[in-house]
Amino acid sequence: MSKSAKTIRPRERDTIIQALSAGVVPRLGLAHIQVGRSAEIAAMLRDIDRIADSGAAVRFVIGEYGAGKTFFASIVRLIALERKCVTMHADLSPNRRIHASGGQARALYSEAVNNMATRNKPEGGALQSVIERLVTDAAKEAGERNVPVEGVIDGKLGPVTQFAGGYDFATVLKAYWRGSEESNDALKQCAIRWLRGEYSTKTEAKKDLGVRTIIDDENVYDSLKSLACLVKVAGYAGLLVMFDEMANIYKLQNSQARKQNYEQLLDIVNDSLQGTTSGIGFIMCGTPEFLLDTRRGLFSYEALQSRLAENTFASGGLVDLSGPVIRLQSLTPEDLLVLLGNIRMVFASGDPSKYLVPDEALTAFMGHCDRKIGEAYFRTPRSTVKAFVHMLSVLEQNPGTRWEDLLDQIPIAPDAPDVSVDADGNGDGDELTSLRLNS
């Protein structure tokens, strides 16, 4: 085990431990526990560079439940922030979809915008900061050129107006600038509400902002492209949009609803691969079934299947990470051993002299997991990590307890997929395809 010490701040330490204990990805300190995935991360770095160079990218990150998809996407998000990108992320759910007609797509957009992050605001809520940067830079430029600020604002927003719905988008941004000039906080907040997709009627938006449209289910993708353009003109490298829990589309009982979501995904894939969008990238995380199922998954939609099919030459241990699909390779036992060592280091706040367990406890713990659940303990490590964190927590809070005495008491089971049923009541008969009878 490496004995190199790196101080871990108390806030990062507590955030990591609490998140891992609950089986979720921490929002801080990911670098302290990251292991493996070097080739996949290198591929994503190339995507981020392409976005910064006014290109586009789309990736489907595919892995089993508990394999580390969300963790991987979070690492990429932090790298994108360091590369001066703006990021947005949201989880799909029965009430949040890529395409819908009952407000679910707008809900997904609003959630993603609320999670908008920059390097200076990595925990979200960065929309207003992005707009303020645009306004501030415009005022500075106007002062240097001795020209009206409004003219500079109009010039900067010109590219935004080229998108579908972009004229109203630019009008709202200009309303925010007027609110800043006039110290009209109410007008600024109306503009922010509109940009977040929080207006539910066009009448209210016209009254407050003088625009005839709102962000709704019909124009979510167009609004994301307009946001990407705003990010660029505000001086950032580009926009990276992350959608997790994509299996919620796969779970939709209504075949027409699934098809409409897949058609929207096809638009995103086509635009990215053909280069018709710029400065924007998408990362979407899902399970193998979500991708490969020819009855309900992405491969049930022929156009998507042809675009997402893997390179037939990438077999027998060979990989090709240039296509839209990244299949997360399983962690090796060696990777997991390093991960457990990293978690032990987090508990010790970066000081090896404060380790709660010796090196032999790590290998003994892995042996225990192997006996309990087999290879799943390192292939889908979420349950293994949770159990290890729980054990260290007990040792920390009960001085004098021997780790050997706890080992056999640790309950551990392989990760199971979420079996929650979606809220779409209009079934098409598919709901019986996964029926299981217990004797």
Report pLDDT digits (tens) over 358-369.
999 999 988 888
Residues 58 and 116 in one domain: yes
Q: Residue 197 corresponds to which tokens in the numbers above?
A: 């997709």
Q: How confident is the model at residue 316 (pLDDT cuts 50, 70, 90)?
A: low
Chain-wide mean pLDDT for the chain? 87
- Domain boundary pick from 298, 327, 356: 327
pLDDT of residue 439: 40
Domain range for 10 is 6-26+331-416
| Percent residues over pLDDT 90 in the chain | 62
Within a domain: 430: no
Q: Residue 263, class by beta-carbon neighbours within 10 Å (0-12 exposed, 13-18 middle, 19+ buried)?
A: middle
Report yes or no on whether pTM surpasses 0.85: no
Within a domain: 244: yes
Residues 306 and 337 in one domain: no
Within a domain: 436: no
Looking up tokens 């995380």, which residue turns up?
285
- Domain boundary pick from 282, 297, 327: 327
What total number of domains does the chain contain?
A: 3
Closest by CA position to 73, among listed 84, 86, 57, 62: 62
| Percent residues over pLDDT 70 in the chain | 89
pLDDT of residue 376: 62
Q: How confident is the model at residue 315 (pLDDT cuts 50, 70, 90)?
A: low
Task: Answer whether residue 186 shows pLDDT above 80.
Answer: yes
Residues 336 and 307 in one domain: no
pLDDT in tens, 124-153: 999 999 999 999 999 999 999 889 889 999
The side-by-side arrangement of strands in the sheet containing 86-91 is 86-91, 239-244, 280-286, 56-62, 325-327
CATH of the domain at 265: 3.40.50.300
Within a domain: 228: no
Q: What is the mean pLDDT of residues 266-275?
A: 93
The torsion angles phi and psi of 95, rounded to 5 degrees, stand at: -105, 5
Residues 177 and 111 in one domain: no
Residues 337 and 412 in one domain: yes
pLDDT of residue 33: 87
In sequence order, the β-bridge partners of residue 96 are 93
- Which comes out higher in pLDDT, residue 435 or 340? 340
- Domain boundary pick from 277, 309, 327: 327
Q: How confident is the model at residue 312 (pLDDT cuts 50, 70, 90)?
A: low
Task: Answer whether residue 194 shows pLDDT above 80.
Answer: yes
Within a domain: 421: no
